[in-house]
């Protein structure tokens, strides 16, 4: 009995001391641009940073989508599809831009007084590949 217990404890100790790699090959670097952070805000300051970060907006106001990318090299197309609560497209924005590492992009829509109330969605695409959705609310 004691021998079996000793073997079991030794095996647990041996396996817990082993380091198991998460990646068995490669450099571990992510290829291509990726989103580090993205927020919705009521404005962008003169330095290009979001102000008034929120997910609640009101008719007559502006909605800014601010995105911080990393590993942004060469030219890429960033698209944003703004969807109303009904699921229909409100507007599509697109920019072609280049960078060398970190890159900030931002987009803006203006909400009219008659904009639909409810949950809206902003879908972000890079070179026509979906990257992220952000949700916000338009309230009275």
Profile the chain (140 residues) by mean pLDDT over runs of 10 residues.
41 38 45 94 96 97 97 94 97 92 95 94 97 96
pLDDT at 99: 85
Indicate whether 37 belongs to any domain. yes
Scanning the structure block, which residue is given the tokens 């929120």?
54
pLDDT at 2: 40
Indicate whether 134 belongs to any domain. yes
CB 65 within 8 A of CB 104: no
Indicate whether 113 belongs to any domain. yes
Indicate whether 11 belongs to any domain. no
CATH of the domain at 69: 2.60.40.1930
pLDDT at 55: 97
According to DSSP, residue 49 is labeled -
Residue 52: which domain range? 32-138
Q: What angle do CA 81, 41, 76 make, to 5 degrees?
A: 45
Number of domains in the chain: 1
End-to-end C-alpha distance for the chain, whole angstroms: 73
Indicate whether 36 belongs to any domain. yes
Nearest Cα neighbor of 120 from 94, 93, 89 is 89
Indicate whether 87 belongs to any domain. yes
């Amino acid at each position: 009995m004691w021998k079996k217990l000793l073997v079991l404890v030794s095996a647990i100790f041996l396996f817990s001391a082993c380091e198991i790699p998460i990646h068995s090959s490669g450099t571990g670097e992510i290829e291509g641009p990726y989103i580090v952070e993205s927020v919705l805000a009521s404005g962008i300051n003169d330095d290009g940073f979001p102000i008034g970060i929120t997910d609640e907006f009101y008719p007559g106001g502006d909605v800014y989508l601010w995105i911080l990318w990393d590993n942004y090299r060469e030219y890429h197309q960033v698209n944003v599809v703004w969807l109303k609560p009904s699921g229909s497209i409100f507007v599509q924005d697109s920019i072609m831009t280049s960078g060398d590492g970190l890159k900030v992009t931002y987009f803006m829509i203006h909400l009219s007084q008659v904009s639909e109330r409810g949950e809206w969605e902003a879908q972000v695409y890079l070179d026509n590949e979906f990257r992220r959705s952000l949700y916000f609310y338009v309230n009275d």
